[in-house]
Structure 1
């Protein structure tokens, strides 16, 4: 996705949140945010890639502060919070463990996102409310066709915490006899899931976990490692979680792949692109979008 005028305030809010968890030194934060302004003055322009621009902002903050994982504590807490909902999830599954239900549960987890929301967001209330909502766009029937058509799937995860909910969908996908390759970030970026997070959530029980080889916001194809680029290019079937991956993949030509996007619309630009409202949850196949 290309940057929109609304991306600017979001980049700055994310910068502030990151700095607030790194340090209490107001002068130091002022110095860093000044460097963020300089970066955005150069990079934030019509036609720029939003994921790549955001990645540069977060990499700059990590470099200048010397803090490689600003959200380390928040990611751990996110996984713990997500695990606290598993009794509720199990009760839902006892009544209905259909593919559609498992998809919805996985998408509800996408709400846990410090990149899209502020650090003071009441995620527990948002999750409880969303578990009662229906999907605004629901192409589960097409996803099931793909699950019956293919033997292998590449599953792009998004955030820590969210990946605990992904476990339910991964369990369901395995019931179709699928081989699952699950991709995580090589190094921390905001609260995106890395190998440590995925292993702590037990995702290795359902999938072979690989690294994308980079630390970018969502998908930035030219930053993939050679090994992961080969995995990605060879994949005929991709399940993509979260808005960051959605925004990155929609920049690529994926006409020869079955690609499905699962997310909650937390960004007004993405919501407008899809034609839904903020807060709506969706599962759609890539050819649904006429981009």
Structure 2
């Protein structure tokens, strides 16, 4: 996705929150914010890639503070929140694919990048359980699951992947081989290999690293190994807003791509003509 005017304050909010998680040194924070402003002054312009720019800001902060995983505690909290919420969430499940899709998208609310750290995410999830999908291409998704032998499933956040596991279990009913793409290194609260294995996603799929530590998927930063997997995938399920924003920068007209996410970003909501926090299952 190209940057919108709303991206600038969001970049600064995320930068501030990341700094607050890492250090209490106000002098260091001022220095870091100077670096962030310098980066934005050079690279925030009409047509810039929002995922790539956001990734550079988070890397700048990690490198200058020597902090490998600033959101480590938030990621642990995400998994705890998901497991605590799971029994209530399972009540919406029935035999339909749509119910599993919806629950996996409800899990996308667990996002300490899109929301402020003090946001009441559990309340947002409870509200979402009672909502319908604003865009619902589930029939097309089911057709694809019956059509293809293989699918590439791009996961998003920790916590959220607890709900992805349920959807993956349902997907296996279609006798399809699943490959899961996870981040190589921590970025915000995105899921890495150890996070995916910890919740048992390896029970339903082969897990591979994208080779990157970017916000969402940034094609130019993928490893050569994952580029080959991605390029050869005719059927992709993309979880989360970051992956949606990254993939919509690419020409994927030769693939069947399904986006499952909550429209937590005003710019994205306007882009697909839904309201903020609406849930959608959208075929490219």
Q: TM-score range by the shorter chain?
A: over 0.9
| Correspondences of 1:172-183 after superposition (within 5 Å) | 172-183=170-181
Q: Distance in 2 between matches of 1:35 and 1:240?
A: 32
The corresponding residue for 1:146 is 144
CA distance in 1, matches of 2:216, 2:167: 20
Question: RMSD of aligned C-alpha atoms?
Answer: 0.7
Work out whether residues 92 and 129 of structure 2, in 8 Å CA contact, stay in contact via their aligned partners in 1.
no
Match of 1:56 in 2: 56
Q: Which residue of structure 1 aligns with residue 275 of structure 2?
A: 277
TM-score (norm 2): 0.99
**Residue number in structure 2 paired with 1:235:** 233
CA distance in 1, matches of 2:236, 2:82: 24
Tell me the secondary structure at the aligned position of residue 259 of structure 1.
Answer: strand
3-state DSSP of counterpart to 1:175: helix
- CA distance in structure 2 between the aligned counterparts of 1:239 and 1:98, rounded to whole angstroms: 18
- The answer to whether the aligner puts 1:35 opposite 2:35 as a matched pair is yes
**Counterparts of 1:73 and 1:207, CA distance in 2:** 27
**For residues 4 and 132 of structure 2, what CA distance do their matches in structure 1 show?**
29
Q: Distance in 2 between matches of 1:86 and 1:126?
A: 14
Q: Where does structure 1 lack aligned partners over 5 or more consecutive residues? A: 287-291
Pairing 1:1-291 to 2, within 5 Å after superposition: 1-93=1-93, 96-286=94-284
- Count the aligned residue pairs: 284
TM-score by length of 1: 0.96
Q: Is the 8 A contact 2:92 2:103 kept in 1?
A: no
- Residues 171-219 of structure 1, C-alpha deviations (whole Å, 9 max, x = no match): 1100100100000000000111001111111111111000000100001
Unaligned runs of 5+ in 2: none
Q: For 1:85 and 1:172, how far apart are their aligned partners in 2?
A: 19
For residues 140-190 of structure 1, give each alpha carbon's deviation from its aligned partner in whole angstroms, at most 9, with x where no partner exists: 000000000001000000011111111111011001001000000000001
Q: Is the Cα contact below 8 Å between 2:153 and 2:237 reproduced in 1?
A: yes
Report the CA distance between 1:88 and its aligned residue: 1.6
Superposition deviation, residue 89 in structure 1? 2.9
Query: What displacement does 1:138 show?
Result: 0.5
